[in-house]
Structures are given as structure tokens and as C-alpha cells.
């Protein structure tokens, strides 16, 4: 059995689900446009630049989950999936995932975006295992805080290692371990697997892929 790991935003998706979730709530009038939209864009720009403070960002991104009921969040997310996420899933992304599933690989999505936003997306791809940033909840309500290690940069390695350890495995147990990503923020995990693949990479990752001889593919179109 081989291991196949997939980043989500701007890799399997032609866009960023975390950013779009915030914008979706703004467009619905759930969040105030003047106070939220500019900050959402600023944090996204920091992520692209590689300067994001993940704990500061998560304090911002998880707050809307804590301010609304589970029923409202579920209803909004169902519409968000239809209106924003499904149009970002292309045929090439679906085919790539299906090829690894059909080969019998152990597959997982590994994403910094929280599991509330991403669990239905993983389900849409038919991927059982989701390694994501976990929002804390108590008494059926989100608290606005993070549970455990954020799944970001080096945190992705820790979270993948912990997930595999529960199954009595390690990365070294797989003949081939593949990780698909678009972002230089994922270099720590890309460097750990036996087959790193750059997917529609940002400029920094594109340069690293060329320097290291890593394959580069496109899932757009």
C-alpha cells in the first residue's frame, strides 16, 4: 500500500475554501463587510507571502463559528458547498484522487483549513481521512479556539505522524509516499515524503520544484 496526501486549497480546489467561507458569510450579511473583508484579505495575503501567524489568524477565522448555532452553520455550509466549493472542483482533481483510491492507496487530505469547513469537501472527493486544523467545541458549540496543533507548516508533519501512529504506521513504512501541494508553506511536509509533487505551484514552490527536480502538474482546466 502506498500513501497519498493531498493539500486542499489551491491544490485540489481552484481556490481557497477558508478565504471563501469568510467571504461567503460576508456576502450573506452574517459578517460585517467593512470590518471583516479587509482583514480576511490581509491574512490571505500574509499566507501567500509566508508570513502568516497561524494562531493570530485562527483567532480571527474561528470566531464566526463560536458566534452562531450549529444549525445555522450547517445550513450556511450546505449552501456554501453548492455555490462556492463545487464550482472549484475540476475534473482533473477528481480524476487524480480517484486514481489513487482505485490503486488502493491510503489517502488523506492534509489542510490548514479547519475541519468544519473541510470535512464536507473531503467527503465530496470520497476521501475518508481528513487531517485538518480542529476547532474546539464544548456542549455542542464551537468556542472559537483551536484544539491541539494547527495543521500548518511543520504542524502538518506532526499531525500526519500522529495520524499514522494511531494506525501503527510511519511514513517510512510506505514504499511510496506522495504529497500534492501548491504552496511553499508546505515545504516541510513535501521534504518528508518520498514523492513530492508541486500542483499549480506558487512562485516560491515552483522555483524549489525546479531546483530539486520535483514533478510539477496542473489540475486546472
The catalytically annotated residue of 9, 16, 18, 105 is 9
Element (H, E) at 6: strand 3-6
Question: Beta strand pairing status for 129-138 and 141-147?
Answer: antiparallel
We report the CATH number of the domain holding residue 37 as 3.40.50.1000
pLDDT tens digits, one per residue of 89-107: 999 999 999 999 999 999 9
Residues forming beta bridges with residue 25, ordered by sequence position: none
User: Is 7 annotated as catalytic?
Assistant: yes
Q: Which of 172, 135, 133, 127 is nearest to 156 (CA)?
A: 133
Range of the domain at 165: 3-217
Number of domains in the chain: 1
User: Is 53 annotated as catalytic?
Assistant: no
Residue 172 — pLDDT band, cuts 50, 70, 90? very high
Residue 34 CB neighbour total at 10 angstroms = 8
pLDDT tens digits, one per residue of 182-215: 999 999 999 999 999 999 999 999 999 999 999 9
Instruction: Look up the pTM and report it.
Output: 0.96
Amino acid at each position: 500500500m502506498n500513501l497519498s496526501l493531498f493539500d486542499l486549497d489551491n491544490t485540489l480546489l481552484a481556490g481557497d475554501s477558508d478565504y471563501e467561507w469568510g467571504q461567503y458569510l460576508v456576502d450573506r450579511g452574517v459578517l460585517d463587510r467593512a470590518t471583516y473583508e479587509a482583514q480576511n484579505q490581509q491574512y490571505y495575503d500574509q499566507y501567500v507571502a509566508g508570513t502568516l501567524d497561524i494562531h493570530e489568524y485562527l483567532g480571527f477565522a474561528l470566531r464566526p463559528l463560536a458566534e452562531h448555532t450549529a444549525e445555522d452553520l450547517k445550513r450556511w455550509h450546505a449552501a456554501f458547498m453548492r455555490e462556492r466549493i463545487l464550482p472549484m472542483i475540476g475534473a482533473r482533481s477528481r480524476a487524480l484522487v480517484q486514481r489513487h483510491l482505485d490503486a488502493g492507496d491510503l489517502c488523506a487530505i492534509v489542510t490548514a483549513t479547519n475541519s468544519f469547513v473541510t470535512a464536507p469537501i473531503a467527503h465530496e472527493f470520497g476521501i475518508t481521512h481528513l487531517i485538518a486544523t480542529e476547532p474546539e467545541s464544548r456542549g455542542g458549540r464551537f468556542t472559537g479556539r483551536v484544539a491541539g496543533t494547527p495543521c500548518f507548516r511543520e504542524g502538518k508533519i506532526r499531525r500526519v505522524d500522529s495520524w499514522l501512529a494511531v494506525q501503527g504506521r510511519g511514513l517510512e513504512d510506505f514504499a511510496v509516499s506522495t504529497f500534492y501541494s501548491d504552496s511553499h508553506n508546505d515545504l516541510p511536509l513535501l521534504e518528508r515524503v518520498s514523492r513530492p509533487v508541486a500542483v499549480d505551484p506558487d512562485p516560491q514552490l515552483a522555483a524549489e520544484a525546479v531546483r530539486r527536480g520535483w514533478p510539477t502538474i496542473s489540475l486546472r482546466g
